[in-house]
């Protein structure tokens, strides 16, 4: 089963990152965490790496509903979205299929929430060009 979907955007890394964050905000998601792999690899390994960010996105209402249904669901939160520099002037974005990632819960309430999350994330994904 696939756990993510992606596309290349013909924009530089920074502009793509801004578009992703705006699209997430438009669907009620905020970015709770931001992991900059380029900076982490430089600081910890003295390794040069392309721009690569992991955004931890969350919709507070859906997160609250999920935690009420499954108290340990936090181990699978937030939704991680990747922004990867193709190093050719374009940038790849990768979004998760929440339902496939949350199958491990075996909880029908979580599956229903995952469908909502997937619909919202797909809406955001489709607006990013």
Instruction: Produce one character per residue of 110-125: b if its CB has 16 or more CB atoms within 10 Å, e if not.
Output: beebbeebbebbeebb
pLDDT at 48: 98
Which of 29, 35, 33 has its CA nearest to residue 52?
35
End-to-end Cα spacing for the chain: 26
Name the residue ranges covered by the structural domains of the chain.
Answer: 4-127
Average pLDDT of the chain, as a whole number: 98
Segment 81-107 mean pLDDT: 97
Counting residues of the chain whose pLDDT is more than 70, the rounded percentage is 100
**The pLDDT of residue 1:** 77
* Fold designation for 4-127: TATA-Binding Protein (3.30.310)
- The strand order across the sheet containing 30-36 reads 4-9, 91-96, 79-85, 52-58, 30-36
Q: What is the CB-side half-sphere exposure of residue 126 using CA atoms within 13 A?
A: 7
Q: What's this model's pTM, rounded to 2 decimal places?
A: 0.95
């Amino acid at each position: 089963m696939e756990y993510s979907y992606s596309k290349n955007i013909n924009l530089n890394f920074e502009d793509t990152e801004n578009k992703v964050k705006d699209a997430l905000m438009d669907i009620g998601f905020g970015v709770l965490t931001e992991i900059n792999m380029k900076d982490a690899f430089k600081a910890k390994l003295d390794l040069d790496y392309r721009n690569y960010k992991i955004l931890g996105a969350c919709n507070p209402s859906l997160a609250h509903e999920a935690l009420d249904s499954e108290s340990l669901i936090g181990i699978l939160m937030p939704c991680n979205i990747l922004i990867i520099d193709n190093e050719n002037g374009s940038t790849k974005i990768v979004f998760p299929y929440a339902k496939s990632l949350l199958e491990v819960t075996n909880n029908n309430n979580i599956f229903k929430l995952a469908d909502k999350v997937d619909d919202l994330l797909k809406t955001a994904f489709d607006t990013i060009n």
